[in-house]
Amino acid sequence: MNQRWRLLALWLLPIGVAVFLAFQLLGGGPNRLSPSGVTTAPRNAAVARMSYGRFLDYVDAGRVTAVDIFDGGRTAVIEAVDPDLDNRVQRLRVDLPGVAPELVNKLKDQGISFDIHPPRQSPPALGLLGNLLFPLLLIGSLVFLARRSNGMPGGPGQAMQFGKTKARFAMEAETGVKFDDVAGVEEAKQDLQEVVTFLKTPERFTSVGAKIPKGVLLVGPPGTGKTLLAKAIAGEAGVPFFSLSGSEFVEMFVGVGASRVRDLFKRAKENSPCLIFIDEIDAVGRQRGAGIGGGNDEREQTLNQLLTEMDGFEGNSGIIIIAATNRPDVLDSALMRPGRFDRQVTVDAPDIKGRLSILKVHCRNKKLAEDVSLEAIARRTPGFTGADLANLLNEAAILTARRRKEATTLAEIDDAVDRVIAGMEGKPLTDGRSKRLIAYHEVGHALVGTLVKAHDPVQKVTLIPRGQAQGLTWFAPDEEQSLVSKAQLRARIMGALGGRAAEDVVFGHAEVTTGAGGDIQQVASIARQMVTRFGMSDIGQFSLDSGSQEVFLGRDLMTRSDGSDALASRIDDAVRSIVQSCYAETLKLVAAHRDCMDRVVELLIEKETLDGDEFRAIVAEFAPIPEKERFTPFLAETSAS
């Protein structure tokens, strides 16, 4: 409603200006102006003009029969007889230099009827109103906008409101989200439910000496449900709730962020006990000391004020701060200590049980066919976050509506998974040579992944383009791969090189294509990490990767290397050795199973898509498939000496 009134006032300003100008031009004076700027008489104007000298000649010749003088003697309308027009009477306009006595005497001597019309005078009140209309309208509109903007930071007339907090406040937040609506993050839910219990029944904890936590930091990748958990806390707690983003503290004016922090905590103390939720706190809580070249850093001043308000001299009893970030590595250490953020709750990507529970929540309003298994979907989507699973079911529902089906089937689920992972489906290839080359490339990936024992099993091979890829091979990774062995890393390198090896064996080394560009980048990354991070080379069991030390984190002004130039050369040699040995094994494996590859390629060109079971059944006709081993991490126990 306030926005509507402001728009109305902004429309009234140009309308008032137009009315004022129109009044001044058309009705604000005793006479009106013609479009040409010449004053006209209030009666019908003459159709032709006559010069003043010619008018005097007509008067002397006795051709003028009547004269009407207007505008204080500046204009006259005459009736004259024109001999050139059969002595017809013609009305003419004459511009006079003024009502001179000589002209009046001449008209009397010639016996010409004349009349002098006095100027029309507008009422004084109307003239005064016309002169004051625009200033009054302008002042009134500005006052109206200022009053309408009262209490709205950033609006017109709110120059003194920059230091006020922009947090959204709700006495009882109606977010529509409860803890039952959040699934897949049971450990995080348990920690946050205790916070709600602290607020509702604090005596349960204070009776045994426990203190309410001052802050809870939600840490996790994007899309895992951090903001959703905050909404659930707000919906369950039933206490005043403030919500804002970290970027809303910082403005272009020095000191505004710190002022907003003070105002936020002032309002929170007035409504305690309450909750404050700060989303993306890394926007204001980054490591201090990153300012280069001196000067005042507005973000650091804001962070200093936030640290003081959270756990300073005065304290903030009854206020619980909940913050969310996906970059905990850039946060200042003073912000992370107990007493400010007492708890750090990790909200990670869900496991298979978590994904199953998330799918059950998101499919409540979806119509699924009876043969759709949510457990099968959960198994096929390792690494998916809650947001990814919600998007997956939504894409499947859109495909169901597009295909005019009453319920979502496995076909829509499969297509939605492929779309979320690889992108939109393109047109199938029609060029026979390109299609065959891509088929050999993809079958090379799948064949190596199937025949290497430590590699993940093949899930699907397709020639249907998706996104930027002309063909795709999917693998089904193990669910619990928190630790990866050296054999698995080498198997991944061989699987990635399978496409290039197939091109090399079938078409020759001179005919390999750029299709393996992305695979080679992946291979180089894995091999370098094996050498510099995981100690899986002849160089030794120590890390040579210093990690990312950007300047803005306030640590090092320049990135530095942990080794000498000679050591860097040894690293390059070790990486090259790993890649070359893996490629030699891959070439040997592909060449030994050329007949199998040719058979699978012919079938793939015909059907365009093969699922994992169908692919393995064909390969099993030519060679035994090793049983895939699942790497089970073990716990090394040590005893104190």
Active site residues: 442
Q: What is the amino acid identity at position 393?
A: L
Helix (H, G, I), strand (E, B) or coil at 325: strand
Separation CA 288–CA 554 (nearest Å)? 6
> Tokens 């003028």 correspond to what residue?
64
Backbone conformation region of residue 86, classed left if phi is above 0, alpha if psi is from -120 to 50, else beta: left
Six token digits for residue 606: 């015909």
Six token digits for residue 356: 């199953």
Q: Which residues are registered as beta bridge partners of 82?
A: 88
Pairing of strands 343-346, 215-219: parallel
Q: What is the amino acid identity at position 623?
A: A
DSSP 8-state symbol, 552: G
DSSP 8-state symbol, 272: -
The DSSP annotation for 60-71 comes to HTT-EEEEEEEG
CA 498 to chain centroid, in Å, comes to 39
The DSSP annotation for 243-261 comes to EEEGGGS--SSTTHHHHHH
**Helix 432-451 with 612-620: angle, nearest 10 deg:** 80
Residue 379's φ and ψ, nearest 5 degrees, are: -70, -30
Helix (H, G, I), strand (E, B) or coil at 469: strand
Torsion 159-162-165-168 (CA) sign = positive
Q: Which residues are registered as beta bridge partners of 33?
A: 39
Separation CA 345–CA 340 (nearest Å)? 14
Residue 457's φ and ψ, nearest 5 degrees, are: -70, 155
CA trace torsion 246, 249, 255, 259 (10° rounding): -120
Pairing of strands 458-462, 472-475: antiparallel
